[in-house]
């Protein structure tokens, strides 16, 4: 199957403002891109690319004063199969973890492992370690939080989401990955495209956040917000939490004038 992804984002800046954007398909999926991945701005500005500390493809530029529109499109090949549960996958004891997994055990800006550690062990410490325990965490978060765009808050942390019992996909992800880290399970935050292929139409379309968890046979996607196998998940960026992977990081004030995202199946 082929999936067409794209976005059109319009910002308004009072003065020329430096931007760093994480909007490109992650290097892990580069081999699946069909045709050119396009990126343009209006008005046109000079852009340059680099790989950030977490291995994501970033673009930097300076937005002029006034309205500034960023547009991108890409077509990605996908198996078209729903995600499969690896229920035999086991947790790895900390002494046996690969060194590059250790950083995904620590607390971070939005994920207060110190404040949620006892809660995590009280809720999930009695469960057998492995895939099913991670799924139990996602089941709990899915039921505990009420999804509400109107109550989105950029500063809400995992602990606050747990207390307030409301949030958007980033809050679901933050709470689930914090519980995982409290239980010594490496977990990382993911931004990406996730359309409504195989499920009822999602409106309006948006970028999505989910988590990846390290078990004995590698990294696996879990999605506490949707909490069901999905088709066509396409990673853009990974980090410790949302602070590491803003879609647009503005080094100065701006107003968001327009935001449009699309992800849909197209003919081969």
Evaluate whether residue 221 is within a structural domain: yes
What is the layout of strands, in order, in the sheet containing 38-42? Answer: 38-42, 66-77, 2-13, 254-266
234 with 205, same domain? yes
How many structural domains compose the chain? 2
pLDDT at residue 258 in the model: 96
142 with 114, same domain? yes
pLDDT at residue 154 in the model: 92
Evaluate whether residue 85 is within a structural domain: no
19-40 core/surface letters (b: 16 or more CB in 10 A; e: else) = bebbbbbbeebeebeeeebebe
18 with 73, same domain? yes
| Tokens representing residue 84 in the block | 């499969």
225 with 255, same domain? no
| Tokens representing residue 89 in the block | 């996958």
Domain coverage including residue 160: 94-244
Q: How far is the C-alpha of 162 from the C-alpha of 172, rounded, in Å?
A: 9
Q: Are 241 and 187 in contact (CB under 8 A)?
A: no
> What digits encode the pLDDT tens for the residues 180-202?
999 999 999 999 999 999 888 77
205 with 257, same domain? no
pLDDT at residue 268 in the model: 76
224 with 128, same domain? yes
Tell me the mean pLDDT in the region 234-260: 97
> What digits encode the pLDDT tens for the residues 54-94?
999 999 999 999 999 999 999 999 999 999 999 999 999 99
Tell me 16's DSSP state.
Answer: -
143 with 217, same domain? yes
Evaluate whether residue 205 is within a structural domain: yes
Is 117's pLDDT higher than 90?
Answer: yes
Work out the angle between the directed axes of helices 169-182 and 113-124 (0-180°, nearest 10).
80
Evaluate whether residue 206 is within a structural domain: yes
Looking up residue 253, the CATH number of its domain turns out to be: 2.60.40.2250
Evaluate whether residue 86 is within a structural domain: no
Evaluate whether residue 141 is within a structural domain: yes
222 with 186, same domain? yes
Evaluate whether residue 186 is within a structural domain: yes
DSSP state string for the chain: -EEEEEEEEEEEESS-EEEEE--SPPGGGGGGB-S--EEEEES----EEEE-TTS-EEEEEEEPSEEEEEEEEEEEE---PPP---TT-----GGGS-GGGGGGGS-BTTB-HHHHHHHHHHHHTTSPSSHHHHHHHHHHHHHHSEE-GGG--TT--HHHHHHHTEE-HHHHHHHHHHHHHHTT--EEEEEEE---TTSSPPSS---EEEEEEEETTEEEEE-TTT-S--S--EEEEEESSGGG--SEEESS-EEEEEEEEEEEEE--
60 with 14, same domain? yes
Looking up residue 113, the CATH number of its domain turns out to be: 3.10.620.30
128 with 215, same domain? yes
CA angle 172, 174, 177 (to 5 degrees): 105
17 with 108, same domain? no
Which residues face 82 on adjacent strands? none
64 with 172, same domain? no
Evaluate whether residue 158 is within a structural domain: yes
Task: Report residue 234's pLDDT band, with 50, 70 and 90 as the boundaries.
Answer: very high
């Amino acid at each position: 199957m082929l999936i067409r992804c794209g976005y059109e984002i319009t910002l308004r800046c009072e003065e020329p403002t430096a931007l760093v954007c994480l909007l490109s398909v992650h290097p892990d999926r580069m081999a699946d891109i069909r045709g050119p991945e396009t990126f343009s701005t209006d008005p046109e500005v000079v852009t340059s690319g680099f790989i950030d500390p977490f291995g994501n493809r970033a673009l930097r530029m300076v937005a002029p004063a006034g309205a500034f529109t960023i547009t991108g499109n890409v077509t990605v090949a996908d198996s078209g199969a729903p995600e499969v549960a690896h229920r035999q996958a086991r947790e790895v004891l900390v002494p046996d973890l690969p060194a590059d997994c250790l950083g995904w055990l620590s607390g971070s800006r939005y994920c207060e492992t110190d404040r949620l550690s006892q809660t995590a062990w009280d809720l999930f410490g009695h469960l057998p370690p492995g895939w099913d325990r991670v799924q139990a965490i996602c089941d709990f978060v899915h039921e505990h939080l009420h999804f509400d765009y109107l109550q989105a808050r950029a500063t809400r942390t995992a602990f606050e989401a747990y207390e307030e019992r409301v949030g958007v996909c980033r809050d679901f992800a933050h709470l689930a990955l914090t519980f995982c880290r409290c239980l010594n399970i490496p977990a990382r935050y993911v931004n990406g495209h996730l359309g409504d292929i195989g499920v009822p139409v999602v409106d309006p379309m948006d970028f999505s956040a989910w988590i990846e968890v390290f078990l004995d046979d590698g990294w696996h996607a879990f999605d506490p917000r949707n909490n069901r196998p999905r088709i066509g998940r396409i990673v853009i960026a990974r980090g410790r939490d949302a602070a590491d992977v803003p879609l647009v990081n503005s080094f100065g004030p701006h107003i968001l004038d327009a935001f449009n995202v699309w992800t849909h199946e197209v003919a081969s």
